[in-house]
Homo-oligomer: A and B are copies of this chain.
Amino acid sequence: MAETLIQFGILGCADIARKVSRAITLAPNATLYAVGSRSLEKATRFAAANGFPPSAKIYGSYEAVLDDPDVDAVYVPLPTSLHLKWAVLAAEKKKHVLLEKPVALNVAELDQILEACESNGVQFMDGTMWMHHPRTAKMKEFLSDPQRFGQLKSVQSCFSFFAASDFHENNIRAKPDLDALGVLGDTGWYCIRAILFAADYELPKSVRALPGPVLSKAGVLKSCGASLIWEDGKVATFNCSFEANLTMTVTAIGTKGTLQVQDFVIPFKEDRAAFSAGVESWFNELVTGWRTMPSEHVVTTDLPQEALMVREFSGLAADIKRNGSKPEQKWPTLSRKTQLVLDAVKASIERGLEPVEV
């Protein structure tokens, strides 16, 4: 039986939509079918520049994409403040929803989106691409191995990039009416997801923002951090910033092993990605060096992680379309947990760095 090809419509022409359009082209079970923008001219230019086939539908509004009965799924890279409206509408029109992160301004909004997807039987997935890299599965194997990693004790994550001064004036991620979560919703989202990933998605008991959150003139977070603690005593910290050189690290330490990765969100190279695994690391006899050193693990991939994301999403959508299956709950659950922690960090910042229960 031929694979069902999921026909994508894209809402808006955000920069990130260029990368995802290519991913849809690369994924074997998905195809670029439509794009809509408030400007028909912009949509036309976008389609021409991003590999849309000549038969693709070019629309001058988001609604028109949702009204096209041949659109199976939408990719929504709109500013966060517009997610609630357009993701709910898409679900109501029975379109599967691939939603850029941060998925919503808060978990109450996200719950409305998830409820709309659930009641309309469509698949929901957020755009956290690194979840789909085969390296991530290999890292999970290591973290889950009681012999090599043991019990998780702590995680540290950091994701910063240096934004030029015009970013704080012009970029969506720096505008309070568009992306009110600022750096916390942008790079902080990934740090939180990485910490939850290492903790096997167990939610922390409480969260406390770290001293020194920085707001832009417009009142949007430019830098912040938080500490997290779980019932069993394991701890995590993260730092996210628009004010420091591009850095994206995760260090997860268990009783027996240590995982380190330097490019967890976007691997240095598209076709391979590495992580370092230390197992029962120890010194030589005189403590002048290490007897057991961390080893480097390289994982290759035939498709870039964003194409693997589209493939996974489209496979689930196809299964629903063809077989009447239920949507996969894993993906909305992960989005919701990430948003819950993010909301708690935001609340802690707003309450003068008080601890906040999750």
Contact = CB atoms under 8 A, between A and B. Distances in A.
Interface centre among A16, A253, A287, A294 (most CB of B within 10 A): A253
**Copies, count:** 2
A245 B256 contact: yes
Interface string A279-302: 111110011111001100000000
A153 B239 CA distance: 11
B154 A156 contact: no
The range of chain A's interface size is: 35 or more
Contacts of A246: 258, 278, 281-283, 290
A267 to B, nearest CB: 7
What secondary structure prevails in chain A residues at the interface with B?
Answer: strand
A270 B256 contact: no
A234 B290 CA distance: 33
B262 A290 contact: no
Contacts of A263: 290
Contact of A244 (B227, B253, B267): B253
Given A268-B290, A290-B263, A306-B288, A154 B253 contact: no
A120 interface: no
Interface string A133-161: 00000000000000000100110101011
Given A158-B253, A208-B211, A235-B211, A262 B276 contact: yes
Interface string A228-247: 01000111010101011111
A257 B266 CA distance: 18
Interface in A250-274: 251, 253-258, 260, 262-263, 266-270
Contacts of A281: 245-247
Interface string A13-36: 001101100100000000000000
Given A229-B212, A245-B281, A286-B19, A158 B262 contact: no
A304 interface: yes
Nearest to A154: B239
A154 B245 contact: no
A244 B237 contact: no
A9 interface: no
A162 interface: yes
A355 interface: yes
A223 interface: yes
Contact of A269 (B160, B234, B279, B289): B289
Contact of A158 (B15, B251, B278, B306): B251
Nearest to A205: B211
Interface string A190-222: 000000000000000010101110100000000
A237 B276 CA distance: 22
B162 A256 contact: yes
A21 to B, nearest CB: 10
A129 B260 CA distance: 25
A166 to B, nearest CB: 15
B239 A210 contact: no
Given A211-B206, A269-B289, A287-B19, A247 B239 contact: no
The 10 A-B residue pairs with the shortest CB-CB distance, nearest first, are A246-B281, A153-B244, A244-B253, A211-B229, A247-B258, A212-B235, A268-B290, A212-B229, A210-B227, A245-B258
